Amino acid sequence: MKLKINRFLKRTAIVIVFSVMQNTVAQGHPSLVLTKKGVTEIRAKLGKVPLFDTSLAEAKTEVDAEIALGIITPIPKDFSGGYTHERHKKNFLIIQKAGVLYQILNDKKYAVYVRDMLLAYAKLYPTLPLHPQERSYARGKLFWQALNDSNWLVYTSQAYDCVYDFISVADRETIEKDLFKPFADFISIGSPQFFDRVHNHSTWGNVAVGMIALVMDDAELLDRALNGLKENGLPAGMKDNDGGLIKKPGQKTGFLANVNEPFSPDGYYTEGPYYQRYAMYPFMVFAEALQNTKPDVKIFEYKNGILIKAVYALLHLTNAAGEFFPLNDGQKGMSYYSRELVSAVDIAYLYGGKDASLLSIAEKQGRVQLDNSGMAVALAIKKGLAKPFEKKSIDLSDGPEGKDGGVAIIRNKNEGSELTLVMKYAAQGLSHGHFDKLSFSYYNNSSEVLQDYGLARFVNIEQKGGGNYLKENTTWAKQTIAHNTIIQNETSHFGADFETGNQFSSKKYLYDVSNPKVQIISATEDNAYPGTKMHRTMVVLQDEGYEKPLLLDIFQIDSDKANQYDLPFYYQGQMMSSNFTYQTPKTLEPLGKAYGYQHLWKEGIGKATTENTKISWLDNGVFYSLTSATQPTDELLFVGLGANDPSFNLRRDPGFIIRKKNSQKATFVNVIETHGSYNPVTEVATNAFSLIDKIEVVYEDANYIGVTIKNKERKSILFILATNNNSTTKKHQIKIKDTTYTWVGTHYKTIN
């Protein structure tokens, strides 16, 4: 081993081998993401591992083009999307790659580029005041947010590590003294409200400081990164500019706290998949660096291997196209094709037991990280080891102990279509959380059947509020009415108050997918509206009387006073038909005045006149029908998004609302059918009509609810749920219309 290293060392210019710190494996640079040993191995395999080679070639093309442009470090001025922001962002992405190219290709020009870039920043940085854009609660210097400064340092540290030995001692001194040390101090001690919290922001900050600490062998900085500030001097109750609380009293901070707290034991990150994806890069890349430099920390085993579990959780939190479910603040379209997930999947493969199913994701991604983990993945793929990554139904708990509710994903695959229910009964989700207790979204492959709106932001598009969160994110996207769940008295859950919402989570009542034809998630929420208990049960029900599985949605609500309850369904595509009469106003008015209601136009107003209300729509060549067991007093509303939206920041999406007025108790029973198809080329419509003849609540008391779903051929599905006892061994017996039903466990299903 020693011999091998020595042989390799002869090929590099200057080598300094020293112990980085106590308990650290003796090694020189690079040692974070690339290691000396890893580089040797990679070099030996160049040209023989296709996926690695193409990823390397892509990086080379990209970096070469930037080197040709020269070093550009403009005076910071713009918001995200603007020139100076995008330029500095590109710089850090490129020099990280340039550092790697120097190591792998052993071509000095890349080291020169990184060195010169770092020297340019070392010259610029000491001259910089706070960034001129004042919107952030924690402004940076290169960027408008300390967050983006931290992004910069996470990548730049890697570049520095790669060229450390190449740079002269004098230049290193300049770079560390004028750039890295003040930079690390500024984003930590200088920005405690940013650094010293549990949040994706602080994760970036902690990792940035930690990465540069490892390169510079700075034990004090590393301790700060891992364990937070000793003293932060922040006032209690301080909030960030998204309205998020900076720090709960007594909360631990630093990287380890950020691993410990926001992840549930199942690997779900409380902010939601969009931010989990964003934070996954610093989590995983720092973990890799720690593993390479301080294996004794056993970071990948921390909290029962939570970081590896988190990667799996993220992969499960995607639709058939690999796009993350846009829970809480989430931009639609973000997917496991992002660079963060390429990195995360590769690292999870190498450090998480070489699970062959991860290779199929990497194959789809079509590129690998340019390090040992990427080489391991590319090599395994070349050897044909990849196995399919099977996304099955999964229930992901939320909260550090897994006790703060969760997110259930129920999937049913049949004949080329994958129906996916995403039911959210989680905690608030920190500052990026939405007031959407017991909400759900529903997918047919990658098509949204009933959507979660996601965020109201055009990330990095400067025209739209500097690419930042728009006002409508607060006034619409976070509000309850923007979600497929119940709103009481036109007021959002917890009155849309973050602190209140942050104290509570919904509770799981039942998750049972043991029968693939009757997959159930059931959860309760007692705090969104004080005095009101909500219980939602959703069943993905496969029955041969129907072409595709049905989604049965039973929403029971019980309050200590009479209220108005609204249950919206945000369908997509074109309304086809409805079975009730409604008026369409000659002039459109907003549905309400606040809590997001001010953003909906009231396009149609009807009354449920029959026992069942039915609407059908067509989207992406598939028909859908919603059948609802309504009462004649129920109001039915067709709504369209876009009111009070002076800057056209919202999409013009449609919705349908079932409204029950002046009710203390109420039960909403809805069934969503997926049926038929339409092809504009053949112009053939198949199974364009709902097959459901009638749905009926045949039994309801404090302990049970029984629902029947009849199809046109008069076959009837009966589903009974014990609503007050979720024991799987309890015996039940009830009588419905002269028939006695007995069963063991939480629910009963039969067909007559």
Active site residue 442: no
CA–CA separation, 104 vs 119, rounded Å? 23
Question: Is there binding between residue 189 and a second copy (CB under 8 A)?
Answer: no
From 269, 274, 275, 442, the catalytic residue: 275
Question: Is there binding between residue 119 and a second copy (CB under 8 A)?
Answer: no
From the CB of 338, what's the least distance to a second copy, in Å? Answer: 5
Interface with a second copy in residues 448-487 (CB under 8 A): 458-464, 467
Among 601, 624, 719, 748, binds a second copy (CB under 8 A): 601
Question: Is there binding between residue 416 and a second copy (CB under 8 A)?
Answer: no
From the CB of 181, what's the least distance to a second copy, in Å? Answer: 30
Phi and psi angles of residue 496, each rounded to the nearest 5 degrees, phi first: 60, 30
Question: Is there binding between residue 689 and a second copy (CB under 8 A)?
Answer: yes
Question: Is there binding between residue 26 and a second copy (CB under 8 A)?
Answer: no
Question: Is there binding between residue 152 and a second copy (CB under 8 A)?
Answer: no
Query: Kind of pairing, strands 507-512 and 518-525?
Result: antiparallel
Q: What secondary structure letter does DSSP report for 201?
A: H
Question: Is there binding between residue 63 and a second copy (CB under 8 A)?
Answer: no
In contact, 360 and 389? CB cutoff 8 Å: yes
Amino acid at 496: A
- How many Å from the N-terminal Cα to the C-terminal Cα in the chain? 73
Q: What is the DSSP string of 56-79?
A: HHHHHHHHHHHHHH----PPP-PP
The conformational region for residue 82 under phi > 0 = left, psi -120 to 50 = alpha, else beta, is beta
Give the pair of three-digit tokens for residue 186.
């500024």
Map tokens 């910089």 to a residue. 128
Residues whose CB is less than 8 angstroms from the CB of residue 92 and which lie 6 or more positions away in sequence, other chains included: 151, 152, 155, 156, 159
3-state secondary structure of 392: coil
Among 22, 127, 304, 587, binds a second copy (CB under 8 A): 587
Beta strand segments in 175-227, E: none
Active site residue 155: no
Question: Is there binding between residue 86 and a second copy (CB under 8 A)?
Answer: yes
Give the pair of three-digit tokens for residue 170.
């004098």
CA–CA separation, 275 vs 645, rounded Å? 26
Residue placing its CB nearer to a second copy in the complex, 15 or 459: 459
Residue placing its CB nearer to a second copy in the complex, 284 or 618: 618
Q: Residue count at the site for a second copy (CB under 8 A)?
A: 53
Among 685, 697, 698, 736, binds a second copy (CB under 8 A): 685
Q: Which stretch binds a second copy (CB under 8 A): 17-25, 400-408, 432-440, 597-605?
A: 597-605
Question: Is there binding between residue 415 and a second copy (CB under 8 A)?
Answer: no
Classify burial at 49, counting beta carbons within 10 Å of its beta carbon; exposed 0-12, middle 13-18, buried 19 or more.
Answer: buried
Task: Mark 312-351 with x for binding to a second copy (rule: CB under 8 A) and - for no binding.
Answer: -------------------xxxxx-xxx------------
Question: Is there binding between residue 648 and a second copy (CB under 8 A)?
Answer: yes
Residues whose CB is less than 8 angstroms from the CB of residue 381 and which lie 6 or more positions away in sequence, other chains included: 51, 359, 362, 363
Beta strand segments in 389-490, E: 394-397, 406-414, 417-425, 439-444, 447-450, 487-488
Question: Is there binding between residue 684 and a second copy (CB under 8 A)?
Answer: yes
Among 196, 261, 603, 673, binds a second copy (CB under 8 A): 603
Residue placing its CB nearer to a second copy in the complex, 400 or 654: 654
From 29, 131, 199, 432, the catalytic residue: 432
Question: Is there binding between residue 6 and a second copy (CB under 8 A)?
Answer: no
CA–CA separation, 600 vs 523, rounded Å? 28
Amino acid at 86: E
Give the pair of three-digit tokens for residue 226.
């891992």
Question: Is there binding between residue 618 and a second copy (CB under 8 A)?
Answer: yes
Residue placing its CB nearer to a second copy in the complex, 293 or 343: 343
Give the pair of three-digit tokens for residue 684.
């053939």
Among 74, 182, 305, 640, binds a second copy (CB under 8 A): 640
From the CB of 450, what's the least distance to a second copy, in Å? Answer: 17
Q: Which residues are the active-site residues?
A: 275, 432
User: Which stretches of the chain bind a second copy, using CB under 8 A?
Assistant: 81, 86, 331-335, 337-339, 458-464, 467, 574-577, 584, 586-590, 601, 603-604, 616, 618, 638, 640, 642-646, 648, 651-652, 654, 678, 680-685, 688-689
